[in-house]
């Protein structure tokens, strides 16, 4: 028996990286998945590889009309969504004094406004159905700060807070909402060239290596499934211990 048998899931940013890993593990555990992304060719390939249990739908998470179309496609093909993973995200490096306003806005649009629209559109269907689990992929940048990443950090702290408001608003309708906080994970975002990574930044972690997308997908699976039935409005961290504290030894 699969851990997501009978469930319908929407995963954003699923053409590659963690979103792809989440789509793969969800299908392996019995879900039917709508793979969403702005990368149409890559997303189509991921959905095709998953067979009858997946479809691709174009989605720019910052576009509310796209969200309506994704919901309609999910309902038409598979039924009312039970799971929404707001995974799509972008990263931009710049110190605050150098960051251009448009760049700051674009990070917030994708990383914060996107999940807001997803919760508004898909959350409406879930609350009407009286069931659902929403997983908002934040970051350890939503728990601590980083230089050069002001917009990203602001968006991920914002998403962590929005998760709590949504959990309170949706709770009585049977919909749970949690935030997931990965540390460094080997995806095109953290490793655009796909080559061997410099291990130095990870050597100070209790688990001294970068994470694998599949390791984050396992936590998303737990949150998507009924195994996490008493958890809502909470932060779930998978970071190799990066935020555990300082090593004074």
Count of CB atoms within 10 A of residue 203's CB? 9
Question: Considering the complex, what minimum distance in angstroms separates the CB of residue 167 from ligand NAD?
Answer: 19
Among candidate residues 56, 62, 9, 60, the one with its CA nearest the CA of residue 31: 9
Q: Which residue intervals of the chain are DSSP H helices? A: 17-28, 40-49, 64-77, 101-108, 114-129, 150-170, 213-224
Whose Cβ is closer to ligand NAD: residue 89's or residue 127's? 89
Which position among 26, 67, 104, 152 bears the catalytic label? 152
Residues lying near ligand NAD in the complex (CB under 6 A) are found at 12-13, 15-19, 37-39, 59-62, 87-90, 110, 137, 139, 182, 184-185, 187-190
Whose Cβ is closer to ligand NAD: residue 8's or residue 21's? 21
Question: Considering the complex, what minimum distance in angstroms separates the CB of residue 16 from ligand NAD?
Answer: 4
Q: Do the Cβ atoms of 91 and 148 come closer than 8 Å?
A: no
Among candidate residues 71, 66, 85, the one with its CA nearest the CA of residue 12: 85
**Count of alpha carbons within 13 Å of 243, Cβ hemisphere only?**
17
Whose Cβ is closer to ligand NAD: residue 95's or residue 188's? 188
Residue 55 forms beta bridges with which residues? Answer: 34
Whose Cβ is closer to ligand NAD: residue 129's or residue 189's? 189
Q: Assess whether 152 carries a catalytic annotation.
A: yes
Question: Considering the complex, what minimum distance in angstroms separates the CB of residue 197 from ligand NAD?
Answer: 11
- The arrangement of strands across the sheet holding 32-37 comes to 54-58, 32-37, 8-12, 83-86, 132-137, 175-182, 235-238
Question: Considering the complex, what minimum distance in angstroms separates the CB of residue 76 from ligand NAD?
Answer: 20
Active-site positions? Answer: 152
């Amino acid at each position: 028996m699969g851990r997501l048998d009978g469930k319908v899931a929407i995963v954003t940013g699923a053409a590659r990286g963690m979103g792809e890993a989440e789509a793969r593990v969800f299908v392996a555990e019995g879900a039917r998945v709508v793979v969403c992304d702005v990368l149409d060719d890559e997303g189509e390939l991921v959905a095709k590889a998953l067979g009858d249990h997946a479809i691709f739908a174009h989605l720019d998470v910052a576009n509310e009309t796209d969200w309506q179309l994704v919901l309609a496609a999910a309902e038409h093909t598979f039924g009312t969504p039970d799971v929404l993973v707001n995974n799509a995200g972008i990263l931009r490096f710049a110190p605050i004094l150098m960051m251009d306003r448009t760049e700051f806005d674009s990070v917030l649009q994708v990383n914060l406004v996107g999940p807001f629209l997803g919760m508004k559109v898909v959350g409406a269907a879930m609350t009407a159905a009286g069931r659902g689990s929403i997983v908002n992929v934040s970051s350890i940048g939503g728990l601590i700060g980083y230089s050069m990443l002001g917009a990203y950090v602001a968006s991920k702290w914002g998403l962590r807070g929005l998760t709590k408001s949504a959990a309170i608003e949706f709770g009585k309708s049977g919909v749970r909402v949690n935030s997931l906080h990965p540390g460094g994970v080997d995806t095109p975002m953290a490793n655009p060239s796909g080559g061997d990574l410099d291990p130095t930044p990870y050597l100070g972690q209790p688990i001294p290596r970068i994470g694998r997308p599949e390791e984050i997908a396992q936590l998303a699976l737990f949150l998507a499934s009924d195994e996490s039935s008493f958890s809502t409005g909470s932060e779930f961290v998978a970071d190799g211990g990066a935020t555990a504290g300082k090593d004074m030894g």
